[in-house]
Amino acid sequence: MKRINMCKGVWIGLVTGIILAIFLKSVEVLLGYKVYTLLLNVDYIPIVKDYQFSEAIEVFFHLVVSVVLCILLVIALDKSTDFIRNRVVYFSFLINTAIGLLLYPTTSFSDRTPSFTDAVSLSWWIAGHALYGVVVGMLLKKTMGKRK
């Protein structure tokens, strides 16, 4: 993998991961929906669920996931067709909204997170991941090099 792709993925993942965390933390603090708690939740991961981590460590875990995802997106974009590259914001939005939908059911593994049937929490959760996807896509588009 090109070093430049790794660097792009790391900084895009950190910036957007922080934006998502701030957005969901704001929703939780201002409106009371436990979507930030869900973002940091590791209750569904074997072994890890047996430990209690500080908020800073849980945010770090979230940022690691965000960085890995963004590195993968940078690599995929680098190998993609012009069709995808020209619609990178749209595809990033779709991918990350889908990831949000796929992750939401993990709420059923914890008493600390929203109820699986809480439609308002689900809406905020999806809105956060859609925002994340758009910002990732915009940053990917901004950092794309010309095809050779």
Domain residue spans of the chain = 3-143
pLDDT for residue 111 is more than 80: yes
pLDDT above 70 covers a percentage of the chain that reads 97
Could you tell me if residue 96 is left (phi over 0), alpha (psi between -120 and 50 degrees) or otherwise beta? alpha
33-79 pLDDT, tens digit per residue, is: 999 999 999 877 777 777 888 999 999 999 999 999 999 999 999 88
How many whole angstroms separate alpha carbon 95 and alpha carbon 30?
A: 28
* DSSP secondary structure string for all residues of the chain: --HHHHHHHHHHHHHHHHHHHHHHHHHHHHH--THHHHHH--TTSTTGGGS---HHHHHHHHHHHHHHHHHHHHHHHHTS-HHHHTTHHHHHHHHHHHHHHHHGGGGGG-SSSPPTT-HHHHHHHHHHHHHHHHHHHHHHHHHPPPP-
d(CA 71, CA 13): 8
- Give the model's confidence band at 14: pLDDT under 50 very low, under 70 low, under 90 confident, else very high: very high
4: Cα within 13 Å, side-chain hemisphere: 5
- pTM (2 decimals)? 0.91
> Residue 85 — pLDDT band, cuts 50, 70, 90?
confident
Q: What is the pLDDT of residue 148?
A: 41
Mean of pLDDT over the chain: 91
